[in-house]
Chains A and B, each alone.
Chain A
Amino acid sequence: MAKQRPGFIADPVMRARAVSPLAGHIETGQFGVAVGQSPSVRLGERFGLSIAEVTAWKGRESKCRAAIKATASAALKVAPGSGSVKTAAGAFNIAPMRWLVSGESPELVANLADAVSEDGTVTDLSHGRTVIRVDGEKSRWVLAKLFAVDLSDAAMPRGNGLATAHHDIFAQIQRVGADAFDVYVFRSFARSFWHLLCRSAEEAGYRVD
């Protein structure tokens, strides 16, 4: 049972009462795949996650990193963009003294607020962001059509992330696997971005589960 907090502190997504902005727009199946070939990209929404932005007060960065580790099991390095990803939760640096933390647990944000306490601030964004996973051997190829960022092994180790934009659409990207990336976009842009992503992935051939 999630801790009872006012919604402005923690407002976990109640699946039975929640609607994704992509509802009715996610068509499952294979697209753009030539006969006899398999899709080289997989796309899917990770709906219902708990997502929060943690901002440290100056001089309290390490305490905030510790709070994130305690809450989301994500051990974070100091370098810009550093991140960590586990099965159930992850976090990455999105700006100086700022991290985006996400996870499956509905208590994540409330727990973070407790753990961070006076060392910084926590803002619940569970409803404000849509997370789309792009996976597969051509994931970088597809994302490179949209974002002017280097997603190579050397530039972005697993777990790390960054903040960028595709024209008007602000996006935060975390590398979550060998070829897997989670793209966080503002909820209001999610539908447009999903269609754009699908269109961009058509060349490579993609699958939506």
Chain B
Amino acid sequence: MTSHRISTGGRIDRDKPVAFTFDGKRYSGFEGDTLASALLASGVRLFGRSFKYHRPRGLLAAGYEEPNALVTVTTDGAREPNIRATELEIHDGLVAESQNRFPSLAYDLMAVNGLAGKVFSAGFYYKTFMGPVIGPLKGTRFWMFCETFIRRAAGLGAAGTTPDPSRYERMNAFCDVLVVGSGPSGLEAARKAAADGKRVILCETAASFGGTANWSGKDGEMFADTVLSGLKSEPNVQLLNRTTVWGYYDGNTLAALERVTDHVGRPRAGKPRHRHWVIRAGHVVIATGALERGFVFPGNDRPGVMLADSAQRFACEYGALPGRRMVVFANNDSAYQAAARLRERGAEIVAIVDVRPTVGDWAQSLAAEAGAETIPAHAVTGTSGGKSLTGVTIRGFDAETGNLSGSKRRIACDTLLVSGGWSPVLHLASQAGAKPVWSDKLHAFLPPESDGAWEAVGSAAGEGIEPPEPVFEIAATGGKAFVDFQHDVTADDVRLAHREGFQSVEHLKRYTTLGMATDQGKTANVPGMAIMAAALGKPIPEVGTTRFRPPFTGASLGALAAERYGDLRPERLTPMHDQHVAAGANMYAAGLWFRPESYNRPGETVEEAYVREARNVRRNVGIVDVSTLGKIDIQGPDAGEFLNRVYTNNFGSLPVNKARYGLMLREDGFALDDGTTWRLSEDRFLMTTTTANAGRVMQHMEFYLECVWPDLRVNLTSVTDQWAGAAVSGPKSRDVLAACVKLTKVDNDTLPFMGIVHGKIAGAPVMICRLSFSGERAYEVYCGAHHGPHVWDALMNAGASHDIQPYGLEALGTLRIEKGHVTGAEIDGRTTARDLHLDWMLSKKKPFIGSAMMDREGLTDPRRWTLVGVISLSGEKLRGGSHIVDGPAEKPGRSLGHITAMCYSPLYGKYIGLALVENGVARIGTRGFATDPARSKTHIPVEFVNHVFYDPKGGRMHG
């Protein structure tokens, strides 16, 4: 292949060659090249196969609007499809491949689809693959069956299945002015804002700042370089290249994607691949420029047909000449500038075909500069060549009527430059809520009047755009004429949609898929609407207005997930975490917390370990980490009154240095949470909540203090993390404390059940409350969290001679099931105090949250699910969540409730559980079944018993 590299000029560094592969073949380019420019310079014309018809496609554009040249990049086994070759910067070792072809890009067997003609017209699969009325593939089932094959034949690239090893990050930014786009208008806006002392962020989607200044001539380039070097020295200006602002959200919050290291082969450690920017801007300047459109005519998709400005960009910015012998086809003057510039860069401009009957003096002089024959009142009606353009056919053309006349003339060329007018890039303004307005002068949508939060400048606002002749389609015969290249939507598809009754632009889009996929119709929307308007006989703005939603161009999901990926979910650890791990505990995730499940000895199963641990608590003494309990410091002269209102039972009368078990209800009368609350001084309480409900209870109480009872003088502060807590339980627990607690006695008189003392253990201050979750004599020892490991060790040492063993969540659960204590499994949002046999806690002397609603008819119905104990009669292991039923496996009957918790009870030597069962109390002494048909497929006979299996009178914990 011949080299199309121009020897001088452009923003590539000819001293830095770069080697890469495309479809397995090695190529070289220079630093600063995109994959498109490097391949173009190497003489490559064929970049991809089209979506449906698998037609050969080349480059249409040079930037983010490119519809054809999508490639897949593979990095360390990870595949990323649908990357535009025009934006992909090459680096040493880059591996890219073309898409949607089999077996190869040059010889694609699926190109046979092109011969099927009308079969693949708009909406083809809705019509073609409707199944028969009966049978296994009836109706849409046939469609679903075919879909697999259709998707394989038609489509874009395929994503890989290996994990993406790249790193992604999020960044938050604040500025007074965000300028989107660094072309001449954007640079000028940034310069002015910076001069006014504003904090400025300037985002440029391309690698180099400057936008069109990089390819439109020396003057522009010099201006851009001067302004840019000024901006770089401003401390209040942040310049972000390779950064696409893709979303405009409420409150002037914008989302941007920075491609940090895509352009380097091996990024430095710590560098993310992409960075997701969330920018909160005082004001937004939309300086996103305008996009050139092509024409719709037969064969307009042949490789070698390129937008005029894009060809200029390839030649001037990258030093890659798209061809040698070029024809220009235009309806406006801007293409003449491109022609002159391309001639200057070494191309031969054979002719400029213009649909306008006359061409102005300025354009004429540019045509002369380009050395081109000007052919007015003509249009290109076809192209020739196989996978590469070899010539075009032109005919006389009346721009008023669209009629062709005269004989065909063929002009040999390898490149056809098209310029069918310009569309301002107003996507961000549209996302900001503005409805674009049609300009009859520019034949394009323009951003409307701004609400003040943003402004559009430069060609994004329509400034400086050459007004075109309103010609969008050359209706000639001789092959498919494409509107949307990426989705293979032709002019005939649009007219077919019209004939089938789709009239609004939104319906047109969905039926034909025009404007969908990765380019979102950036070059196709306006021609598509023009053809629809012509079919309807209406002016373009009456067909509808295309609105845009984020993202402007694709944003990687990795960047959106950012640091939440992989190992960075926060872990919440208790002060004694490392000690549990060192003692061999299986750590168990409970919400964000990590808690010991059981401390398995070598060879022990979890069940063997927890049975041993629970048995040791009943016989000797055990210690369990309870630091995860929610803890709230409640202070103020009205704290007692506040608790009286929050809890169902009385707290105002609780003496100092005593604790009480409390229950709180929701407003609707259902149980919310339980826990013990300690009175530390006259106006200070320490509330404990269940681990899982800590946040919820805090919010609940804060709401009441802020909104319902602002007159109460009470302050709340979460102290969950301030205190480490260890529960020491078992008949020998008092001996353990007596051996290590200083400054206070711990005997029954000094520290009775629910009493509180203050002392020291191994020199660290502790608060000890005698309360029991296990049913044994037990104490909760609290100390400052940083002292937690020290105090834990001291307790373990003091307990060594009493056979102390740490126990985990499983043993904790076993002990509480035996004792019939409830937890979140029973306080599940559907149970009342009565359901849980806690009605003794419902004070009749005072109102409290939930008291007005708790006696509703439905909540006092004796048939409600109530808490009972269950014992497995067959010796089989019960499963939490099993349904309680009356009948045997073959005829179980309806569900009467479910098992909330189960364990192997060392006490009973059997599997036991707690269950919520319809009319539960009346069933005590009877039998039923625990059925689990979906998971373990067990159907176990059970006996219903009182929910308190162990020491119902509480002698052991009070003693």
A interface with B by C-beta (< 8 Å): 6-8, 11, 13-14, 16-21, 23-24, 32, 34, 48, 53, 55, 57, 120-121, 123-129, 144-150, 152, 154-155, 167-169, 186-189, 191-193, 195-196, 199-200, 202-205
* A57, B717: Cβ atoms closer than 8 Å: no
Contact residues in B for A23 (Cβ distance below 8 Å): 578
Question: What are 21 residue pairs bridging A and B, where the CB atoms are less than 8 Å apart in the complex?
Answer: A6-B758, A8-B684, A8-B767, A14-B764, A16-B763, A19-B786, A123-B635, A124-B722, A127-B723, A127-B785, A128-B720, A128-B785, A149-B172, A152-B199, A186-B720, A186-B721, A187-B575, A189-B570, A189-B571, A192-B570, A200-B563
Q: Which residue of B lies closest to A55 (CB)?
A: B715
Chain B 411-441, CB-CB to A under 8 Å as 1, else 0, gives 0000000000000000000000000000000
A11 contacts across to B, CB distance below 8 A? 722, 765, 783-784
Partner of B686 from A8, A13, A128, A202 at Cβ < 8 Å: A8
A205 proximity list for chain B (CB < 8 A): 270
B272, B574, B762, B786: most-surrounded residue (chain A CB, <10 A): B786
Known A11-B784, A167-B570, A188-B593: A145·B563 in contact at CB below 8 Å: yes
Is B590 an interface residue, CB under 8 A from the partner?
no
**B171 contacts chain A at the CB level, 8 A cutoff:** yes
Q: Interface 1/0s, chain B 765-794, versus A by CB < 8 A?
A: 111000000000000001111111110000
Cβ B173 vs Cβ A53 within 8 A? no
Contact A55 to B571, CB < 8 A, known contacts A20-B786, A127-B787: no
A77–B918 alpha-carbon span in the complex (Å) = 61
**Contact between A202 and B169 (Cβ–Cβ < 8 Å)?**
no
Known: A8-B767, A125-B719, A155-B174. 6 other contacts (CB 8 A): A7-B758, A8-B684, A127-B784, A188-B574, A200-B169, A204-B270
| A128 CB, nearest partner CB in chain B, Å | 3
Give min CB distance, B576 to chain A, whole Å: 9
B residues in contact with A145, CB < 8 Å: 169-172, 563
Query: In the complex where A121-B636, A127-B723, A145-B169 touch, is A168 in contact with B592 (Cβ < 8 A)?
Result: yes
Report if B271 contacts A (CB, 8 A). Answer: yes
Residues of A within 8 A of B71 (CB): none
Interface string of B869-911 (1 = CB under 8 A from A): 0000000000000000000000000000000000000000000
A144 touches which of B172, B686, B763, B785 (Cβ 8 Å): B172
Interface string of B674-718 (1 = CB under 8 A from A): 000000100010100000000000000000000000000101010
| Minimal beta-carbon separation of B180 from chain A (angstroms) | 20
CB distance from B761 to the nearest CB of A (A): 10
In the assembled complex, the Cα of A11 lies from the Cα of B763 at a distance in Å of 12
- Indicate if the CB atoms of A196 and B174 lie closer than 8 Å: no
CB distance from B957 to the nearest CB of A (A): 24
Contact across chains for A7 and B573 when beta carbons are under 8 A apart:
no
- A17 pairs with B763, CB closer than 8 A: yes
B568 within 8 A of A: yes
* Contact (Cβ within 8 A) A188 B573: yes
Contact of B575 among A14, A21, A126, A150 (CB under 8 A): A21
The 0/1 profile, CB within 8 Å of A marked 1, for residues 261-272 of chain B is: 000000011111
- Quick one: closest B residue to A196, CB to CB? B568
Contact present for B169 and A123 (CB under 8 Å): no
Q: What is the CA–CA distance of A204 and B8 in the complex, to the nearest angstrom?
A: 37
Residues of A within 8 A of B570 (CB): 167-169, 189, 192-193, 196
- Whether B127 sits at the interface, judged by CB under 8 Å, is no
Contacting pair B786 A6 (CB below 8 A) = no
CB of B258, distance to nearest CB on chain A (Å):
12
Known: A145-B171, A193-B570. A202 touches B784 (CB 8 A): no
Contact present for B574 and A18 (CB under 8 Å): no
Residue of A nearest to B686 (CB): A8
A17 partner residues in chain B, CB cutoff 8 A: 762-764, 787, 790
- Which A-B residue pairs are the 3 nearest by beta carbons? A202-B270, A128-B722, A18-B786
- Interfacial chain B residues near A193, Cβ < 8 Å: 570
Q: What A residues does B721 contact at CB under 8 A? A: 125, 127-129, 186-188
CA distance A53 to B721 in the complex (A): 14
Structural contact, B765 and A121, CB atoms closer than 8 A: no
CB-CB under 8 A from B724, the residues of chain A are 127
The interface size of chain B toward A, counting residues with CB under 8 Å, comes to: 57
Give bound CA distance, A202 to B572, whole Å: 23
A14 to B784, CA, bound (A): 10
B564 within 8 A of A: yes
List, in ascending order, chain A residues with CB within 8 A of B170's CB. Answer: 145
| B161-190 vs A, Cβ < 8 Å mask (1 yes, 0 no) | 000000001111110000000000000000
State which of A34, A144, A196 has its C-beta within 8 Å of the C-beta of B563. Answer: A196
Partner of A121 from the list B199, B592, B715, B764 (CB cut-off 8 Å) is B715
What separation, in Å, do the CA atoms of A116 and B719 have in the docked complex? 19
B278 at the A interface (CB under 8 A): yes
Tell me whether A202 and B269 are in contact (CB under 8 A): yes
Q: Which residues of chain B are within 8 angstroms of A13 by Cβ–Cβ distance?
A: 784, 786-787
Instruction: Tell me the bound Cα distance from A188 to B789 in angstroms.
Output: 14
State which of A7, A32, A129 has its C-beta within 8 Å of the C-beta of B783: A7
Q: Which of chain B's residues has its CB closest to A146's CB? A: B563
Closest to A7 in B: B765
A168 to B694, CA, bound (A): 14
A192 and B563 CA atoms in complex are apart in Å by 12
**Chain B contacts of A199 at CB under 8 A?**
270, 563, 568
CA A195 to CA B719, docked complex, whole Å:
24
Most buried by B among A121, A154, A167, A191: A121
Residues of B with C-beta under 8 A to A189: 570-572
CA distance A6 to B723 in the complex (A): 13
Known: A123-B635, A187-B721. A203 touches B593 (CB 8 A): no
* B633 interface residue (CB < 8 Å to A): yes
For the complex formed, measure the closest distance between the CB of A171 and the CB atoms of chain B, giving whole angstroms. Answer: 11
Q: In the complex, which of the residues B268, B592, B766 contacts A7, with contact meaning CB atoms closer than 8 Å?
A: B766
Complex CA–CA separation, A11 to B782 (angstroms) = 12
| Cα distance, A129 to B721, chains bound together (Å) | 7
User: Could you say which residues of chain B place their CB within 8 Å of the CB of A186?
Assistant: 572, 720-721
Which B residues, 572 to 600, have Cβ-Cβ distances below 8 Å to chain A?
572-575, 578, 592-593
Q: Contact at B785–A34, with CB atoms within 8 Å?
A: no
CB-CB < 8 A to A191: which residues of B?
571, 573
A196 to B568, CA, bound (A): 7
- Report Cα–Cα, A129/B788, bound state, in Å: 14
Asked whether, in the complex, the Cβ of B171 is within 8 Å of the Cβ of A144, the reply is: yes
* Interchain nearest-CB distance for A11 vs B (Å): 4
Q: When the two chains form their complex, are residues A144 and B723 in contact, meaning their CB atoms are under 8 A apart? A: no
Q: A17-B763, A187-B575, A203-B270 are in contact. Are A167 and B564 (CB under 8 A)?
A: yes
Which of A21, A147, A152, A188 has the largest count of B CB atoms less than 10 A from its CB? A188
Whether A126 lies near B784 (C-beta < 8 A) is yes
- Once A127-B722, A203-B271 are accepted as A-B contacts, the answer to whether A120 and B715 lie under 8 Å apart by CB is yes
Whether the pair A7, B767 counts as a contact (CB closer than 8 A) is yes
B633-A187 in contact (CB<8A)? no
* Contact code string B52-64 (vs A, CB < 8 Å = 1, else 0): 0000000000000
Q: Which residues of B contact A20 (CB under 8 A)?
A: 786
Closest to A15 in B: B786
- A53 cross-chain contacts in B, Cβ below 8 A: 717
Is there contact, CB below 8 Å, between B765 and A6?
A: yes
Among the interface residues B269, B271, B272, B782, which one has the most CB atoms of the partner chain A within 10 A?
B269
Residues from chain B with a CB closer than 8 A to the CB of A187 are 575, 721-722, 785-786
In the bound complex, CA of A21 to CA of B578 (Å): 9
The listed residue with most A CB atoms (<10 A of its CB), out of B174, B199, B271, is B174
* Complex interface: chain B residues within 8 A of A148 (CB): 172, 278, 280
Q: Do A192 and B763 have beta carbons less than 8 Å apart?
A: no
Give the complex CA separation of A48 and B272 in angstroms: 35
Question: Chain B nearest CB: distance from A178 CB in Å?
Answer: 14
Q: Shortest Cβ distance from A62 into chain B, in angstroms?
A: 17
- Minimal beta-carbon separation of A8 from chain B (angstroms): 5
B residues in contact with A168, CB < 8 Å: 570, 592
* With contact pairs A13-B786, A148-B278 given, residues A21 and B563 touching in the complex (Cβ less than 8 Å): no
Chain A residues lying within 8 Å of B786, measured Cβ to Cβ, are 13, 18-20, 48, 126-127, 187
